[in-house]
Amino acid sequence: MQITVIGRHLEATDALKQYATERFKRLDKYLPKNYAATITLSVVKKVHHIAEAMIKADGVLIQASEETEEMYSSIDLLFEKIERRVRKYKEKITDHKHATKVSEMANVAQAASHPEDRIPQIIKTKRFDLKPMVPDEAVMQMELLDKPFFIFTNASSGHVNVIYRRKDGNVGLIEPAM
Protein backbone atom coordinates (compact mmCIF):
# COMPACT_ATOMS: atom_id res chain seq x y z
CA MET A 1 0.00 0.00 0.00
CA GLN A 2 1.33 3.39 -1.02
CA ILE A 3 -0.43 6.64 -0.09
CA THR A 4 0.92 9.93 -1.44
CA VAL A 5 -0.42 13.31 -0.30
CA ILE A 6 0.33 16.30 -2.54
CA GLY A 7 -0.40 19.97 -1.92
CA ARG A 8 -1.35 22.23 -4.81
CA HIS A 9 -1.48 25.98 -4.12
CA LEU A 10 -0.98 25.22 -0.43
CA GLU A 11 1.65 23.69 1.78
CA ALA A 12 0.56 20.19 2.73
CA THR A 13 1.58 20.22 6.39
CA ASP A 14 2.63 17.07 8.21
CA ALA A 15 -0.66 17.19 10.16
CA LEU A 16 -2.72 17.28 6.94
CA LYS A 17 -0.64 14.51 5.38
CA GLN A 18 -0.93 12.34 8.48
CA TYR A 19 -4.70 12.94 8.75
CA ALA A 20 -5.33 12.03 5.10
CA THR A 21 -3.01 9.01 5.27
CA GLU A 22 -4.66 7.64 8.42
CA ARG A 23 -8.12 8.04 6.90
CA PHE A 24 -7.17 6.27 3.68
CA LYS A 25 -5.32 3.44 5.44
CA ARG A 26 -8.79 2.23 6.47
CA LEU A 27 -9.27 1.09 2.86
CA ASP A 28 -6.77 -1.72 3.45
CA LYS A 29 -9.58 -4.09 4.38
CA TYR A 30 -11.26 -3.60 0.98
CA LEU A 31 -8.34 -3.29 -1.43
CA PRO A 32 -5.44 -5.56 -2.35
CA LYS A 33 -2.13 -4.95 -0.61
CA ASN A 34 -0.50 -3.42 -3.70
CA TYR A 35 -2.86 -0.49 -4.21
CA ALA A 36 -1.60 3.07 -4.64
CA ALA A 37 -3.53 6.18 -3.60
CA THR A 38 -2.69 9.74 -4.57
CA ILE A 39 -4.47 12.45 -2.60
CA THR A 40 -4.21 16.00 -3.93
CA LEU A 41 -5.13 18.88 -1.63
CA SER A 42 -5.64 22.32 -3.17
CA VAL A 43 -7.05 25.73 -2.36
CA VAL A 44 -8.75 28.06 -4.85
CA LYS A 45 -9.38 31.69 -3.94
CA LYS A 46 -8.67 30.93 -0.26
CA VAL A 47 -12.21 29.61 0.33
CA HIS A 48 -12.51 26.53 -1.88
CA HIS A 49 -10.64 23.66 -0.19
CA ILE A 50 -10.55 20.76 -2.62
CA ALA A 51 -9.49 17.20 -1.86
CA GLU A 52 -9.09 14.78 -4.78
CA ALA A 53 -8.13 11.12 -4.72
CA MET A 54 -7.08 8.61 -7.33
CA ILE A 55 -6.64 4.98 -6.33
CA LYS A 56 -5.07 2.33 -8.54
CA ALA A 57 -5.69 -1.26 -7.49
CA ASP A 58 -5.21 -4.30 -9.74
CA GLY A 59 -5.81 -2.33 -12.94
CA VAL A 60 -8.89 -0.53 -11.61
CA LEU A 61 -8.99 3.24 -11.18
CA ILE A 62 -11.19 4.91 -8.59
CA GLN A 63 -11.42 8.71 -8.56
CA ALA A 64 -13.36 11.27 -6.57
CA SER A 65 -13.16 14.85 -5.37
CA GLU A 66 -14.83 16.96 -2.70
CA GLU A 67 -14.88 20.68 -2.02
CA THR A 68 -15.78 22.51 1.19
CA GLU A 69 -14.69 25.62 3.03
CA GLU A 70 -12.33 23.64 5.31
CA MET A 71 -9.65 21.11 4.24
CA TYR A 72 -10.29 18.53 6.98
CA SER A 73 -13.98 18.46 6.02
CA SER A 74 -13.04 17.98 2.37
CA ILE A 75 -10.80 15.05 3.30
CA ASP A 76 -13.56 13.48 5.42
CA LEU A 77 -16.19 13.79 2.68
CA LEU A 78 -13.72 12.53 0.08
CA PHE A 79 -12.89 9.48 2.18
CA GLU A 80 -16.60 8.70 2.69
CA LYS A 81 -17.25 8.94 -1.06
CA ILE A 82 -14.23 6.77 -1.94
CA GLU A 83 -15.10 4.23 0.75
CA ARG A 84 -18.65 3.88 -0.62
CA ARG A 85 -17.29 3.32 -4.12
CA VAL A 86 -14.68 0.82 -2.95
CA ARG A 87 -17.26 -1.13 -0.93
CA LYS A 88 -19.62 -1.13 -3.93
CA TYR A 89 -16.77 -2.33 -6.16
CA LYS A 90 -15.86 -5.07 -3.69
CA GLU A 91 -19.51 -6.24 -3.53
CA LYS A 92 -19.79 -6.31 -7.32
CA ILE A 93 -16.53 -8.25 -7.62
CA THR A 94 -17.90 -10.81 -5.15
CA ASP A 95 -21.17 -11.01 -7.10
CA HIS A 96 -19.29 -11.46 -10.40
CA LYS A 97 -17.32 -14.36 -8.95
CA HIS A 98 -20.51 -16.21 -8.04
CA ALA A 99 -22.55 -15.54 -11.15
CA THR A 100 -21.36 -13.71 -14.24
CA LYS A 101 -24.27 -12.28 -16.15
CA VAL A 102 -24.11 -10.02 -19.20
CA SER A 103 -27.13 -7.73 -19.47
CA GLU A 104 -28.22 -6.42 -22.85
CA MET A 105 -28.73 -2.70 -23.19
CA ALA A 106 -31.00 -1.25 -25.86
CA ASN A 107 -32.42 2.03 -27.08
CA VAL A 108 -29.15 3.93 -27.41
CA ALA A 109 -30.09 7.60 -27.59
CA GLN A 110 -28.63 9.79 -30.27
CA ALA A 111 -27.09 12.98 -29.04
CA ALA A 112 -28.77 16.09 -30.39
CA SER A 113 -26.29 18.45 -31.95
CA HIS A 114 -26.70 22.22 -31.76
CA PRO A 115 -24.81 24.37 -34.25
CA GLU A 116 -22.26 26.63 -32.58
CA ASP A 117 -20.82 29.90 -33.82
CA ARG A 118 -17.31 28.66 -33.29
CA ILE A 119 -15.70 25.35 -34.16
CA PRO A 120 -14.61 23.45 -31.02
CA GLN A 121 -10.94 22.62 -30.78
CA ILE A 122 -9.26 19.61 -29.24
CA ILE A 123 -7.44 20.97 -26.21
CA LYS A 124 -6.50 17.74 -24.45
CA THR A 125 -5.61 14.24 -25.59
CA LYS A 126 -5.59 11.19 -23.34
CA ARG A 127 -4.23 7.77 -24.11
CA PHE A 128 -4.97 4.65 -22.13
CA ASP A 129 -5.04 0.88 -22.52
CA LEU A 130 -8.40 -0.66 -23.34
CA LYS A 131 -8.99 -3.61 -21.05
CA PRO A 132 -11.25 -6.37 -22.40
CA MET A 133 -14.36 -6.58 -20.20
CA VAL A 134 -18.07 -7.25 -20.30
CA PRO A 135 -20.46 -4.26 -20.42
CA ASP A 136 -21.53 -4.74 -16.77
CA GLU A 137 -17.90 -4.47 -15.66
CA ALA A 138 -17.51 -1.33 -17.80
CA VAL A 139 -20.55 0.24 -16.09
CA MET A 140 -19.00 -0.53 -12.71
CA GLN A 141 -15.69 1.03 -13.81
CA MET A 142 -17.51 4.15 -15.08
CA GLU A 143 -19.23 4.51 -11.69
CA LEU A 144 -15.94 4.07 -9.83
CA LEU A 145 -14.34 6.82 -11.91
CA ASP A 146 -17.40 9.06 -11.57
CA LYS A 147 -17.32 9.79 -15.31
CA PRO A 148 -20.23 10.30 -17.73
CA PHE A 149 -18.82 7.70 -20.16
CA PHE A 150 -16.31 4.85 -20.38
CA ILE A 151 -14.53 3.33 -23.40
CA PHE A 152 -13.61 -0.36 -23.32
CA THR A 153 -12.98 -3.42 -25.47
CA ASN A 154 -15.98 -5.75 -25.37
CA ALA A 155 -14.68 -9.15 -24.23
CA SER A 156 -17.30 -11.06 -26.22
CA SER A 157 -16.97 -9.24 -29.57
CA GLY A 158 -13.45 -7.77 -29.35
CA HIS A 159 -14.75 -4.40 -30.60
CA VAL A 160 -14.36 -1.02 -28.94
CA ASN A 161 -17.59 0.00 -27.16
CA VAL A 162 -18.69 3.05 -25.19
CA ILE A 163 -20.85 3.04 -22.05
CA TYR A 164 -22.44 6.39 -21.17
CA ARG A 165 -24.79 7.80 -18.56
CA ARG A 166 -28.11 8.97 -20.00
CA LYS A 167 -30.02 12.00 -18.77
CA ASP A 168 -32.76 9.72 -17.42
CA GLY A 169 -30.23 8.07 -15.07
CA ASN A 170 -29.88 4.84 -17.03
CA VAL A 171 -26.85 3.70 -19.01
CA GLY A 172 -26.43 3.44 -22.77
CA LEU A 173 -24.10 1.19 -24.77
CA ILE A 174 -22.64 2.22 -28.13
CA GLU A 175 -21.42 -0.68 -30.27
CA PRO A 176 -19.95 -0.44 -33.78
CA ALA A 177 -22.04 -1.92 -36.60
CA MET A 178 -19.99 -4.54 -38.42
Which CATH number does 132-174 carry? 3.30.505.50
Give per-residue pLDDT as tens, 134-147: 999 899 888 888 88
Q: Which CATH architecture has domain 2-97?
A: 2-Layer Sandwich (3.30)
- Distance between CA atoms of residues 8 and 51, nearest Å: 10
The CA distance from 176 to 153, in Å, is: 11
CB 34 within 8 A of CB 1: yes
Q: What is the pLDDT at residue 164?
A: 93
Every domain range in the chain assigned CATH 3.30.160.100: 2-97
Provide the pairing of β-strand 60-68 with 171-174.
unpaired
**Cβ–Cβ under 8 Å, residues 80 and 53:** no
Q: How confident is the model at residue 124 (pLDDT cuts 50, 70, 90)?
A: confident
pLDDT of residue 151: 92
pTM reported for the whole predicted model: 0.57
User: How do the residues of the chain divide into helix, strand and coil, expressed in percent and rounded to 5?
Assistant: 30, 30, 40
- Return residue ranges of the chain for CATH 3.30.505.50: 132-174
pLDDT at 156 over 70: yes
